[in-house]
């Protein structure tokens, strides 16, 4: 059994970097419920679009090593994404800047081969596609049990063919680790909270840093500030509006 730590501060010397892994050019209605709906009688309106950034958090944890929270998308979108996704949700990305190995190296924290564990907020293609970098390694891949089950079921049945993709959902190539509790602390000072809504098993990561205080990494619970500041939910990317509002 994996030991669950008592919640406390992270060790002295812990560090955090936010990595820019590119953007998705998205219709605003994906992130904001009701967006791009024109009033009756108006001529056709140009749809608002949003650049949704793909963020990975890189954590240096003394005595353990590097931990990633989310890993962004795959490198080859033409090969691995569906045609409708590449057309309707194009990626703005440069490998030299936004590639996961390149972004880790640019942070000065080390190389991607120094990563010891990955925690996933959820298994959508823009947060978990980068798992391809860890195929065949013993890097621990942490997520909630509900998300693991839902993602593999969706992929196997094809019910959500654009969001969960088979190229990274591989039981044979990754060192999967799950938990079923509502809160779980795999390392002292790091707490994972199940926050359903966007997906059934979505996670939020809470970091308790010695000097900086508490940092909360929310994954796709919030895409834009209106989700958080005004409680305005996401659009069709939301899977359970009631659970999302309860999580708020």
Q: Which domains does the chain have, with CATH numbers?
A: 15-32+48-247 (3.60.15.10)
For the stretch 48-78, pLDDT in tens is 999 999 999 999 999 999 999 999 999 999 9
What 4-7 contacts at long range (C-beta under 8 Å, 24+ apart), as own/partner pairs, is 4/184, 4/185, 4/186, 5/185, 5/186, 5/187, 5/188, 5/189, 6/185, 6/188, 7/185, 7/188, 7/189, 7/191, 7/208
Mean pLDDT of 99-123: 99
User: Looking at the predicted structure, is the pLDDT value of residue 38 above 90?
Assistant: no
pLDDT score of 1: 46
Query: Model's pTM, two decimal places?
Result: 0.93
pLDDT score of 22: 98
pLDDT score of 45: 83
């Amino acid at each position: 059994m994996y030991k669950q730590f008592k919640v406390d501060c992270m060790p002295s010397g812990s560090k955090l970097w936010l990595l820019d892994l590119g953007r998705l050019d998205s219709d605003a209605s994906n992130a904001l419920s009701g967006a791009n709906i024109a009033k009756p009688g108006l001529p056709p309106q140009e749809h608002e679009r949003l650049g949704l950034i793909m963020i990975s958090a890189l954590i240096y944890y003394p005595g353990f090593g590097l931990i990633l929270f989310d890993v962004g998308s795959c490198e080859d979108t033409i090969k691995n994404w569906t045609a409708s996704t590449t057309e309707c949700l194009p990626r703005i990305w440069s490998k030299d800047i936004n590639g996961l190995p390149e972004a880790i190296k640019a942070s000065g924290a080390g190389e991607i081969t120094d990563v010891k564990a990955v925690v996933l907020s959820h298994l959508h293609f823009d947060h978990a596609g980068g798992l391809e970098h860890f195929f065949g390694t013993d890097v621990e891949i942490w997520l909630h049990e509900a998300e693991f089950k839902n993602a593999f079921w969706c992929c196997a049945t094809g019910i959500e063919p654009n969001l969960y993709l088979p190229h990274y959902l591989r039981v044979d190539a990754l060192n999967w680790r799950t938990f079923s509790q509502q809160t779980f602390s795999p390392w002292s000072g790091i707490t994972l909270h199940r926050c359903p809504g966007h997906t059934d098993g979505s996670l939020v990561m809470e970091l308790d840093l010695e000097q900086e205080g508490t940092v909360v990494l929310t994954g796709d619970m919030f895409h834009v500030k209106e989700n958080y500041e005004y409680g305005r939910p996401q659009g069709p990317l939301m899977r359970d509006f009631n659970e999302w509002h309860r999580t708020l």
